[in-house]
Chains A and B, each alone.
Chain A
Amino acid sequence: MLYRLFAPKMFAVCLRYSKNKSEAEDNLQEGFIRVFSNIKKFRHEGSFEGWMKRIMTNVSLEKYREGLAMYSAEDLSYYENQYVSEDILAGIAAQDLLVLIQELSPRYRMVFNLYVMEGLSHEEIGKKLNISAGTSKSNLARARGVLQEKVMKLYGK
């Protein structure tokens, strides 16, 4: 049935947005409850999987907004201007990459996911996270920087 079919993929989506497995599990559960509750409202515009993915990202974003007060910003200027080669990146398993993304501080993680995976523009991201498009851009740059630094540290040379 529906859950068995789509849960694994949706779980991966939730994992990307969350800081650990436990948070991802909560989001997945909440997400599927919303899916089942609103299944009649699905307007058949676009794919069903896409609709579910949007629900999962929305749940994750809500969880993020709730937890905003709790996180302090890291000083990440150290991570800027680092480049990683494509080969190294290619060799990393998806699961390991996922862990690195989870380790990002929440705001950077949100921006990174929304831009790179969901393909939203900085304006759209700004609206969702209640920040300016400029902030979104700089956050993305920093997120990339952090990821690259970590990849280099762990898998480089």
Chain B
Amino acid sequence: MKEEINIDKLIRDKLEGFAVEPPEHLWEGIRDRMEEKRRKRRIVYFSWAAAAAVIVLACFAGWHLYNTTNIIVPDLAQKQERSEQQQLSETGEISGSETGNIAEVIASKEVQPQKNSTFDGWSRKETSVFENQKHAKPITSNNVFLKTTEVSRISHLPVNCIKASLLKGLKVSLAECRIDANNKEKFDDVLSDKDKKLIAANILKYGAKKKKKNASWIVGAGVSPGYAAHTSSYSSEYKKDANTSMSGGVKNLGGGISVQYKTGKKIRIESGIYYAQNSQSPQYSAGSDAYASCAVASPFRSGAEEQDDNSGVYANSVDIQGSVITANSNAGVIRMTNIPSEAEVATSLAKDSKATLFSSDELRQVFGFVEIPFCMRYRVWEKKKVGVDFIGGVNAGIIVSNNVYLGGKTVGTTEDISTLNVSGTLGFGVNYRLGKHFLLAMEPRFNYYLNSINTRDDITYKPYRIGVFTGFYYEF
């Protein structure tokens, strides 16, 4: 035993401080690989900066689009009215008394999609029809078709812009790479062929190993078609004057950018910026108090053609103060400043009873949210080209637009809506790999607002939506 220990010690002493000069070409190899690493790091920074720039750009685009939307609506409505009046007077075959025909003629003229359509495409089309024709039957099918195609076309615009600028960023960084590779040639002349081969082999080996580890950022953009609805509760006082029957949801479309960062083997954190709309319209039941109490006064019941279904009729009890009408609704008190001309207000002669507003159009309360998510993704399943993540998290939802529409026209806003809200998200992300860096995403998500977006105590209104985020991711 003792001898063994001594032998060990002898050997150790001999070899402990032993040094052997390594060949020169090793240092060159090390230096070259460090250069390569530094180059790769620069690309990552640049791509990250590009992603951030894209987010800012999308934000700005979204804001801009939204701001221009609100301005254009009244102007165009006026313009349309004027041009339609001209058309009416010019074409001899149309006379003022033929109500049905005029409506159809005008509607068919409007079918071609216009260039400067706004995000809320319906405003322009329908005002022209209804401003001129008081009792025309609302033309539903043509206009509905227009609405959906217009909306989807506009919402794709930011997505395409995003993709284009992202690709541009990539092209620049690749060009940078090529320039550096050219400079490298100067060093190669000094080394012998054998050394060059050795260096090349090392670089290849190193590169192959490193590629697997570095996929840590994913940036993507897409749209989320979905279904929006809400949960709500009200005080009985509020409910009395409101047409608050449980509404069905409406379909909506949103979209945005997502940025993911890998923090663990199967875990990613996700953020980004999304635009989404939560909107709803009440479904009217004849049994509601507001409707029944003014049945006698309703012009629609007293002679004009009856509606086959209730969906085109809006009736709610309202408060009139000067030129402003307020009405209780699902999401809160609506403050109407612009009343469409064909809507009628009836007041009962009985004391203490409220007035009722009737309209042949649908009422819609639309809230536009810019949401910033903070989610975690956990990879639950992965096979070949398909991966499935479980997604969960919260979002900061900022209300950027709050409009109430009657028919297609903006009539006012909903009061007491809080600007900053919190919502929770749960969903699944299904990713299909299209190439080395590209993924196709289909992600059904459920988003539910955790706080009531109405700040009043007697109203609780929490919108939710179910959507499928569809888009592309770029991985690097």
* 10 CB < 8 A contacts A-B: A8-B19, A9-B17, A9-B19, A11-B22, A15-B20, A28-B26, A95-B20, A115-B8, A117-B12, A147-B11
| A37-B37 in contact given A11-B21, A11-B22, A12-B20 (Cβ < 8 Å) | yes
| A90-B10 in contact given A7-B22, A25-B22 (Cβ < 8 Å) | yes
Residues of B within 8 A of A16 (CB): 15
Chain B contacts with A in 1-45, Cβ cutoff 8 A: 3-4, 6-8, 10-12, 14-23, 26-27, 29-30, 33-34, 37
Chain A contacts with B in 17-70, Cβ cutoff 8 A: 25-26, 28-30, 32-33, 36-37
| A94-B18 in contact given A32-B30, A37-B37, A144-B4 (Cβ < 8 Å) | yes
Interface residues of B (CB under 8 A from A): 3-4, 6-8, 10-12, 14-23, 26-27, 29-30, 33-34, 37, 202, 206
User: Which single member of B11, B23, B27 contacts A3 (CB below 8 Å)?
Assistant: B27
Contact A89 B34 (CB under 8 A): no
Which of B3, B7, B22 has the most CB atoms of chain A within a 10 A radius of its CB? B22
Contact A97 B30 (CB under 8 A): no
Q: How far is the CA of A54 from the CA of B14 in the complex (A)?
A: 19
| A29-B18 in contact given A86-B6, A89-B11, A117-B12 (Cβ < 8 Å) | no
| A3-B15 in contact given A25-B23, A83-B3, A89-B7 (Cβ < 8 Å) | no
Contact B16 A117 (CB under 8 A): yes
Q: How far is the CA of A37 from the CA of B206 in the complex (A)?
A: 14
Chain B's closest residue to A7 (CB) is: B22
| A97-B15 in contact given A12-B20, A15-B20 (Cβ < 8 Å) | yes
Residues of A within 8 A of B10 (CB): 86, 89-90
Q: How far is the CA of A39 from the CA of B409 in the complex (A)?
A: 65
Q: How far is the CA of A141 from the CA of B11 in the complex (A)?
A: 15
Contact A97 B29 (CB under 8 A): no
Interface string of A75-92 (1 = CB under 8 A from B): 000000001101001101
Q: How far is the CA of A151 from the CA of B243 in the complex (A)?
A: 101
Chain A's closest residue to B36 (CB) is: A33
Q: How far is the CA of A86 from the CA of B206 in the complex (A)?
A: 44
Q: How far is the CA of A37 from the CA of B213 in the complex (A)?
A: 15
In the complex, whether A133 has a CB less than 8 A from a CB of chain B is no
Q: How far is the CA of A36 from the CA of B41 in the complex (A)?
A: 14
In the complex, whether A148 has a CB less than 8 A from a CB of chain B is yes
User: Which single member of B4, B11, B17 contacts A97 (CB below 8 Å)?
Assistant: B11
Q: How far is the CA of A77 from the CA of B12 in the complex (A)?
A: 24
Given contacts A28-B22, A86-B6, A90-B10, 14 further A-B contacts (CB under 8 A): A7-B21, A7-B22, A8-B19, A8-B22, A9-B17, A15-B20, A25-B26, A28-B26, A33-B33, A89-B7, A89-B10, A89-B11, A117-B12, A144-B4
In the complex, whether A73 has a CB less than 8 A from a CB of chain B is no
Residues of B within 8 A of A144 (CB): 4, 7-8
In the complex, how many angstroms separate the beta carbon of B200 from the nearest chain A beta carbon?
13
In the complex, how many angstroms separate the beta carbon of B196 from the nearest chain A beta carbon?
15
What number of A residues sit within 8 Å (CB to CB) of B? Answer: 33
A-B pairs, top 9 by smallest CB distance, nearest first, are: A8-B19, A11-B22, A12-B18, A9-B19, A94-B18, A116-B8, A12-B20, A11-B20, A94-B14
User: Which single member of B22, B26, B34 contacts A36 (CB below 8 Å)?
Assistant: B34
| A8-B30 in contact given A16-B15, A83-B3, A144-B7 (Cβ < 8 Å) | no
In the complex, how many angstroms separate the beta carbon of A63 from the nearest chain B beta carbon?
11
Residues of B within 8 A of A90 (CB): 10
Residues of B within 8 A of A152 (CB): none
User: Which single member of B14, B16, B29 contacts A29 (CB below 8 Å)?
Assistant: B29
Residues of B within 8 A of A15 (CB): 20
Residues of B within 8 A of A89 (CB): 7, 10-11
In the complex, whether A129 has a CB less than 8 A from a CB of chain B is no
Q: How far is the CA of A95 from the CA of B20 in the complex (A)?
A: 9
Residues of B within 8 A of A97 (CB): 11, 14-15
Q: How far is the CA of A59 from the CA of B12 in the complex (A)?
A: 21
Chain A's closest residue to B21 (CB) is: A8
Chain A's closest residue to B33 (CB) is: A33
Contact B33 A84 (CB under 8 A): no
User: Which single member of A12, A26, A37, A84 contacts B19 (CB below 8 Å)?
Assistant: A12
Residues of A within 8 A of B202 (CB): 26, 29
Q: How far is the CA of A26 from the CA of B25 in the complex (A)?
A: 11
In the complex, how many angstroms separate the beta carbon of A85 from the nearest chain B beta carbon?
9
Which of A12, A29, A84, A97 has the most CB atoms of chain B within a 10 A radius of its CB? A29
Contact A36 B19 (CB under 8 A): no
Residues of B within 8 A of A7 (CB): 21-22, 26-27
Which of A32, A36, A37 has the most CB atoms of chain B within a 10 A radius of its CB? A32
Residues of A within 8 A of B20 (CB): 8, 11-12, 15, 95
Contact A3 B30 (CB under 8 A): yes
Residues of A within 8 A of B19 (CB): 8-9, 11-12
